[in-house]
Amino acid sequence: MADTNIPQEECAEKKGLNFVEQIVADDLAAGKNGGRLNTRFPPEPNGYLHIGHAKAICMDFGVAEKFGGTCNLRFDDTNPVKEDVEYVDSIREDIHWLGFDWGDREYYASDYFPQLWDLAVRLIKEGKAYVDDQTSEQIAQQKGTPTTPGQESPYRNRTPEENLDLFIRMNNGEFEEGARVLRAKIDMASPNMHFRDPIMYRIIKTPHHRTGTTWKVYPMYDFAHGQSDYFEGVTHSICTLEFVPHRPLYEHFVKELADDSYCPRQIEFNRLNLTYTVMSKRKLLQLVKEGLVDGWDDPRMPTISGMRRRGFTPASIRNFIDKIGYTKYEALNSISLLEHAVREDLNSIATRGMAVIKPLKVVITNYPEGQSETVEMENNPENPAEGTHSMPFAREIYIERDDFMENPPKKFFRLFPGGEVRLKGAYIIKCEEDGVIKDADGNITELRCTYDPDSRSGMPGSQRKVKGTLHWVAADTAVDATVRMYDRLFAVENPAAEEGDFRDMLNPESLIVVDGVKVEPFIARNAENGKKFQFQRIGYFTPDYSSTPDHLVFNRTIALKDSWEKEQKK
């Protein structure tokens, strides 16, 4: 025991295990639960999964994978008012997309309603539960505070017979919602507020998406979760830190069922909080319902489906989660770290191509009219095995409007009158002193340039150095596209911590739609769903679901560099 001063987490890290994995390893070594390992991921189907859930998924499925156990998918569907099959389907899809599988172990808390009912009846008969006729406000008022004891309900000492009769009638639909609840009879003076006769069941008359109108009473989270773990054979019930104070109650109810041979155990880790976004399902639902975003899978949303649509990869999300790790302390993680992981993965897999976002036409006056040729472009310099593609070059091309300045400042290494640049993969061009063509309002409409025929790669002048290299596309073969430039959803770092309405903190520039973008034919030909591109010098893009060959639509996944970081350093 030489390391007694080092926190458990650090010890575990030394062995390459996080603190949860260390607990699991120790339990397995001690032969607990017959040497079995079974975790579960327990989403409530009341919204789409977000990146915070991805952290829980990586833990629940990851630890099972690592130690040869299994992980159940359990839908925690105990509140029919908020739940829907649409959410069940999206949750399944998102977990699979992240790369995890639950095999045939798909369960629902609603599957256990009969067993939970039986347990409740048993507790009533044993004098451990009672029906309370008070309103939820009255019950809350009697709760007391952590330092002062609560007050006992006037209904606390009903006989088991009366309680059972009332509970059955609650479930028969004889009473209105809110008229009565079933409470556990534990201790109104307990220092743990969760022990002050917690509510076990409430009346809900909305039909359930799986059990229909069978039930009129529904179990509360604290009465359902631990027992569901037990019924399923879950050994390690891993959740987030806000459940620490619930743990004694979890153990209290589980003890009614478990014995020495098998008992589920709750372990808590820190939840994922991310800058420039919100993680509350309630707030995300509000953004969707009020049309402030384009659905749960809007590419600005922190949802898994939004990130998928935006072009994030499962690997980048998993790498990010790996990097931030699991601890017992709440933290706010920088979205820049996630973006870094996305860039890193896309840099290795994205197909390179050229697109001009704000086109400016260039006519190369000494290039013969009607002539054209092709140049070879590398598909991915990070992976030469991906080969090359050819790109047309012609007398008329487009360059980026921002790459030209009529009166440039010093050290402007792009194009200006009298200046030279290399067109990436092709020739050096020079803008003529009198080559700036304008319309009646003085707007630049076209540039007249000349090219150096010797400067193409493989030619004698190919080694000639010029300061700037621009991306470009040939005008007549370019294909029109719309791009959606996405940026961070919120303008403030931590919307949840700010005073005021979070909706007022949305970033007004989180989506800028640009039409008339010119892409090279190779991009247009390969713009199938899920394809990842790097538009050279611009950023990473992926076709949106709405994209068709007749109207190409690309989502910007992320710019090549972190412009926000630069802003902050100014």
CA dist., res. 212 & res. 526, Å (int) = 47
DSSP string, 398-459: EEEGGGB-SSPPTT--SB-TT-EEEETTS-EEEEEEEEEEE-TTS-EEEEEEEEETT-STTS
Element (H or E) spanning 253, and its range?
helix 247-254
Binding mask 99-138 for ligand ATP (x = CB under 6 A): ----------------------------------------
Between 229 and 403, name the residue whose CB sits nearer to ligand ATP: 229
CA dist., res. 216 & res. 219, Å (int) = 10
Q: Does 481 bind ligand ATP (CB under 6 A)?
A: no
> CB neighbours of 396 closer than 8 A, spacing ≥ 6?
361, 362, 363, 364, 474, 475, 476
DSSP string, 352-414: EE-EESSEEEEEETTSPTT-EEEEEEES-TT-GGG-EEEEEEESEEEEEGGGB-SSPPTT--S
Q: Does 196 bind ligand ATP (CB under 6 A)?
A: no
Between 132 and 222, name the residue whose CB sits nearer to ligand ATP: 222
Q: Starting at the edge strand that comes first in sequence, how are the strands of the sheet with 70-75 ordered?
A: 38-41, 70-75, 106-108
Q: Does 25 bind ligand ATP (CB under 6 A)?
A: no
To ligand ATP, the closest distance from the beta carbon of 86 in angstroms equals 14
Q: Judged by CB under 6 A, which of 272, 399, 426, 523 binds ligand ATP?
A: 272
- DSSP structural state of residue 211: T
To ligand ATP, the closest distance from the beta carbon of 52 in angstroms equals 2
44 is catalytic: yes
Q: Does 247 bind ligand ATP (CB under 6 A)?
A: no
Collapsing DSSP to helix, strand or coil, 460 comes out as helix
Q: Does 43 bind ligand ATP (CB under 6 A)?
A: yes
395 is catalytic: no
Question: Bridge partners of 352?
Answer: 534
Q: Does 200 bind ligand ATP (CB under 6 A)?
A: no
Q: Of these residues, 36, 92, 271, 537, which one is catalytic?
A: 271
Between 224 and 538, name the residue whose CB sits nearer to ligand ATP: 224
Q: Please give the size of the binding site for ligand ATP, defined by CB under 6 A.
A: 15
Q: Does 281 bind ligand ATP (CB under 6 A)?
A: yes
Q: Of these residues, 13, 44, 251, 493, which one is catalytic?
A: 44
Q: Does 63 bind ligand ATP (CB under 6 A)?
A: no
Q: Judged by CB under 6 A, which of 23, 63, 109, 239 binds ligand ATP?
A: 239
To ligand ATP, the closest distance from the beta carbon of 18 in angstroms equals 14
Contact (Cβ atoms closer than 8 angstroms) between residue 155 and residue 119? no
Size of the chain, expressed as the number of residues it contains = 570
Q: Judged by CB under 6 A, which of 27, 52, 196, 543 binds ligand ATP?
A: 52
Element (H or E) spanning 118, and its range?
helix 113-125
Q: Does 264 bind ligand ATP (CB under 6 A)?
A: no
Between 121 and 324, name the residue whose CB sits nearer to ligand ATP: 324
Between 53 and 456, name the residue whose CB sits nearer to ligand ATP: 53
Tally Cβ neighbours within 10 Å of residue 176. 9
To ligand ATP, the closest distance from the beta carbon of 281 in angstroms equals 5
176 is catalytic: no
Helices (H) and strands (E) in the chain, counts: 15, 25
Contact (Cβ atoms closer than 8 angstroms) between residue 201 and residue 220? yes
Question: Bridge partners of 217?
Answer: 203
To ligand ATP, the closest distance from the beta carbon of 37 in angstroms equals 17
Only one of the segments 52-60, 123-131, 310-318, 436-444 lies at the binding site for ligand ATP (rule: CB under 6 A); that segment is 52-60
Half-sphere exposure of 353 (CA within 13 A, CB side): 27
| Residue with smallest beta-carbon separation from ligand ATP | 52
Q: What is the 3-state secondary structure (H, E, C) of 518-537?
A: EECHHHHHCCCCCCCEEECC
Question: How distant, in Å, are the alpha carbons of 56, 294, 296 from that of 285?
Answer: 20, 12, 8
CA dist., res. 499 & res. 522, Å (int) = 49
Q: What is the token pair recorded at 331? A: 């933290």
To ligand ATP, the closest distance from the beta carbon of 49 in angstroms equals 8
Only one of the segments 38-46, 128-136, 368-376, 404-412 lies at the binding site for ligand ATP (rule: CB under 6 A); that segment is 38-46
Residue type, 346: L
Only one of the segments 43-51, 99-107, 367-375, 527-535 lies at the binding site for ligand ATP (rule: CB under 6 A); that segment is 43-51
To ligand ATP, the closest distance from the beta carbon of 218 in angstroms equals 15
> CB neighbours of 334 closer than 8 A, spacing ≥ 6?
274, 275
Q: Does 353 bind ligand ATP (CB under 6 A)?
A: no
Only one of the segments 42-50, 137-145, 331-339, 389-397 lies at the binding site for ligand ATP (rule: CB under 6 A); that segment is 42-50
Q: Does 84 bind ligand ATP (CB under 6 A)?
A: no
Between 267 and 523, name the residue whose CB sits nearer to ligand ATP: 267
Q: Does 55 bind ligand ATP (CB under 6 A)?
A: yes
Q: Of these residues, 40, 185, 281, 309, which one is catalytic?
A: 281
Burial (Cβ within 10 Å: 0-12, 13-18, ≥19) of residue 404: buried
Between 335 and 356, name the residue whose CB sits nearer to ligand ATP: 335
Q: Does 44 bind ligand ATP (CB under 6 A)?
A: yes
Q: Judged by CB under 6 A, which of 56, 220, 288, 357 binds ligand ATP?
A: 56
Which residues within the stretch 298-327 sit at the binding site for ligand ATP (CB under 6 A)? none
Between 42 and 392, name the residue whose CB sits nearer to ligand ATP: 42
To ligand ATP, the closest distance from the beta carbon of 323 in angstroms equals 15
Contact (Cβ atoms closer than 8 angstroms) between residue 250 and residue 226? yes
> CB neighbours of 34 closer than 8 A, spacing ≥ 6?
261, 262
Element (H or E) spanning 514, and its range?
strand 511-519
Residue type, 278: V
To ligand ATP, the closest distance from the beta carbon of 108 in angstroms equals 13
Residue 132 φ then ψ, to 5°? -110, 130
Only one of the segments 11-19, 41-49, 283-291, 513-521 lies at the binding site for ligand ATP (rule: CB under 6 A); that segment is 41-49
Residue 212 φ then ψ, to 5°? 60, -125
Between 77 and 452, name the residue whose CB sits nearer to ligand ATP: 77
Q: Which residues does the annotation mark as catalytic?
A: 44, 271, 281
Which positions lie near ligand ATP, rule CB under 6 A?
42-44, 46, 52-53, 55-56, 76, 239-240, 271-272, 279, 281
